[in-house]
Structure 1
Amino acid sequence: MDPQNNRRGEHLKYWEGFRKNAARLIEQMVFWSEETEEDTTPLVDEILHSIFFLGRLYKPQFSPKSIMTDEDMLEFLEESYPGAFQFYSSRLPRRAPFSCVLDMIVHKAGQENESEIKDQLQQLVTKLDGATAKYLLSTTMCVSQIVGPDSNRYYGVSLSTFGKVAGRVMVAASCLQTWHEHVAGAVLSYDKSKSPWSFFNGTIKLPGNVRCEAYNISDQRAKPPCKSCGNLFGFDTSESNEWPYGNCAEVESVNKLLENEAEVTEQVRFRAEWSTEGRQRAEREVRDLLNEYLRMSRYKWDGEFFLPQSIQPMQENDIEIN
């Protein structure tokens, strides 16, 4: 077989796996949303926009119609979630798709049911296309909490994107718009080459009464923090792996902890002195890099971030998902 044709075939096989997994995730989220008592339609709106955005960013591009080939489902989604269709090619998502999936599972299981959340994540991953799932699904989850049996648990997953451009766009967007200022500041301390800025160091040290543990989603085995997480949050680790900053599950989990636990936030300590001017410069640098990545992908950003809207849930007998 011609090596070039073989590579082309593998390339097309991968992207077909992406399309299938994207459609399956969307259908599953719609189904779960109908099962929950509280309004989780904003999570469906958000994952739609995030997946459609990635489809626009990747090469080859995937339109919503090419992802959702079920015409009845596509029509329902267009009518129910018009914002996702209107803004995926002009506004940036605040986070990657699988973060929405995680939040939906936590809604269903309850934040206190850690084992159930792990089981549901594991079951979901095994149902999807294993050859390409890692490029749309997260491989790691993390749980953070104040040490104690009755404390709330806060979950995060690793970044679920494929390719450097998509990953860096998501991290930059989260730094500028989504994450708690302490988490964003820690991630902003490093440039795209994983080297620290000379003019800003916002890395932090979490208090000793915080539990932060990561697990492999596919087998639920515990994973020690990587070197990057040690640098960001002061975790003790002997790991030498240094993943791109902002990609790890610990980042999202710690972010939720700090957003919800004022006691922890007050005890956070900065690991170096920094100035407001230095942080503002880091933010400008990251925004410039973000615009550079978007130009590379010929994406015309209007400067806004997508805000999911709460809508009326699907009426009984409208669409049935098996």
Structure 2
Amino acid sequence: MAEDAIKRKNDLLTLRVHNKENLKSCGYRLICHVMEEYEKERDMLKAYVNEILHSIFFLGIIYSDRITPGEFMSAARAESLRQEFPEPFDKYKSHPPKRTPFSILLDMMVRKHHTEDKVMEELRSLLEKLKFPHPLKKAGVKTQNWFTLESTVICVCSRDHLPSKTYFGASLTCCTKEARTIMIHNSCIYTWHKHVSYVVMSYKVGGKSDSDMPKLKFPKSITCQAYLRNWNTNTYDKVEPCLNCQRMFSLPGNNEKSYPIGNCAETECLSKLLSDDQITEKSVIIDNFDVSDFNKLKEQAKQELKSDLAIFCNQMFCHIGYP
């Protein structure tokens, strides 16, 4: 029994080391890629680079085996980046990012390639080049869970009155459950459209029954399709919305599985649509909407976010001044 306990302890230690190195290598590869793109369009991409560096550094520091910016790359490379992009280095310990690195990367690709087919094609090509490990549990190994920065699911939506305009969303790729919770709360408060935030907060922090949950009803002119990456074939396969997404956004489907909030990409995708298109925003119906309840949920989410950040604050010996 003692030998089994020692083996389990050693296996977990090996896993922690493996996952930390995995996260570092993924961060480094992604940083190298965005810097290559930045050299082609400096003025247009500087804001993206600032944001993606901030997001990577933050996810590293709140990981249980903390990774500092200098651990993602050589000291010389880190200092060179700091000279040109001081903001991410100054704020990663005091300001949580508003998006995950993959979400920002996806926006960069949409800006460059525009159409759904081209974005999907280029995204597959890039992921093959970056060679991120598969961010899922390895079959037959209960303790194996490779950490990565890749979103496993992306979603695309559009509307009939402007079919050439598409909106992309990504699942919240975070290295821990705690990090995902922080990003969900932060997104609800500061990033996502208020209608989407209200529905998500009701599910995430409201503790309501299914019958009392607010729901978004989109017009039938809206199409919304999620894709799950198949690593064996390097393709994106269509997937139906999970039960939670069917309930929250009144999306058609027969999927009876409910995935945790943040594991799906419909949330970000539909939020972008509502934020950009006033016609759709005005035509959306919200069941059981209550302004006072919305404000109460938002305040509750803020308190939970502050509480979560305070925990990491104690770990890092720094002052969290946000929100």
Q: Name the TM-score class by shorter chain.
A: 0.7 to 0.9
Displacement after TM superposition at 1:150 (Å)? 4.1
- The one of 130, 133, 152 equivalent to 1:130 is 133
**Cα distance per residue 1:226-267 (max 9 Å; x no partner):** 111112111122212212224421111111111111111110
Please name the residue that 2:300 is paired with. Answer: 285
SS in 1 for 2:156: strand
- The one of 236, 239, 244 equivalent to 1:220 is 236
Please name the residue that 1:147 is paired with. Answer: 160
**Cα distance per residue 1:116-173 (max 9 Å; x no partner):** 2112222233332314576321011111110267430011111110221100100100
**Equivalent pair of 1:157/1:252 in contact (CA under 8 Å):** yes
Q: Which runs of 5+ in 1 are unaligned?
A: 305-322
1:268 aligns with 2:267: no
- The one of 261, 270, 284 equivalent to 1:245 is 261
- Aligned partners of 2:85, 2:204: CA distance in 1, in Å? 36
**Equivalent pair of 2:215/2:286 in contact (CA under 8 Å):** yes
- The one of 131, 144, 165 equivalent to 2:178 is 165
**Equivalent pair of 2:55/2:97 in contact (CA under 8 Å):** yes
Q: Which runs of 5+ in 2 are unaligned?
A: 1-5, 136-145
Q: Percent identity?
A: 28
Please name the residue that 1:40 is paired with. Answer: 45
**Equivalent pair of 1:182/1:202 in contact (CA under 8 Å):** no
- The one of 258, 273, 297 equivalent to 1:257 is 273
SS in 1 for 2:227: strand
- Aligned partners of 2:22, 2:208: CA distance in 1, in Å? 36
- Aligned partners of 2:197, 2:275: CA distance in 1, in Å? 12
- Aligned partners of 1:144, 1:302: CA distance in 2, in Å? 36
**Cα distance per residue 1:192-251 (max 9 Å; x no partner):** 5x9437997442111110011011234211011111111211112221221222442111
- Aligned partners of 1:155, 1:17: CA distance in 2, in Å? 26
Please name the residue that 1:93 is paired with. Answer: 97
**Equivalent pair of 1:187/1:203 in contact (CA under 8 Å):** no
Displacement after TM superposition at 1:303 (Å)? 2.0
**Equivalent pair of 1:134/1:160 in contact (CA under 8 Å):** no
- Aligned partners of 1:114, 1:180: CA distance in 2, in Å? 22
Displacement after TM superposition at 1:37 (Å)? 7.7
**Equivalent pair of 2:193/2:271 in contact (CA under 8 Å):** yes
- The count of aligned residue pairs is 299
Letter in 1 for 2:11: N
**Equivalent pair of 2:155/2:225 in contact (CA under 8 Å):** yes
Q: Which has the higher helix share?
A: 2
**Equivalent pair of 2:19/2:147 in contact (CA under 8 Å):** no
- Aligned partners of 1:196, 1:134: CA distance in 2, in Å? 32
- Aligned partners of 1:292, 1:201: CA distance in 2, in Å? 25
- Aligned partners of 1:129, 1:260: CA distance in 2, in Å? 32
Please name the residue that 2:119 is paired with. Answer: 117
1:25 aligns with 2:44: no
1:297 aligns with 2:312: yes
Structural RMSD (CA)? 2.2
**Equivalent pair of 2:38/2:49 in contact (CA under 8 Å):** yes
Please name the residue that 1:207 is paired with. Answer: 219
Superposition TM-score, scaled by structure 1 size: 0.86
Which stretch of structure 1 is more off in the superposition, 28-37 or 14-23?
28-37
**Cα distance per residue 1:273-302 (max 9 Å; x no partner):** x32211111112111211222223236420
1:190 aligns with 2:203: yes
Letter in 2 for 1:264: T
SS in 2 for 1:40: helix
Letter in 2 for 1:24: R
1:236 aligns with 2:255: no
CA distance 1:6–1:303, change in 2 (3 Å): closer
Please name the residue that 2:64 is paired with. Answer: 59
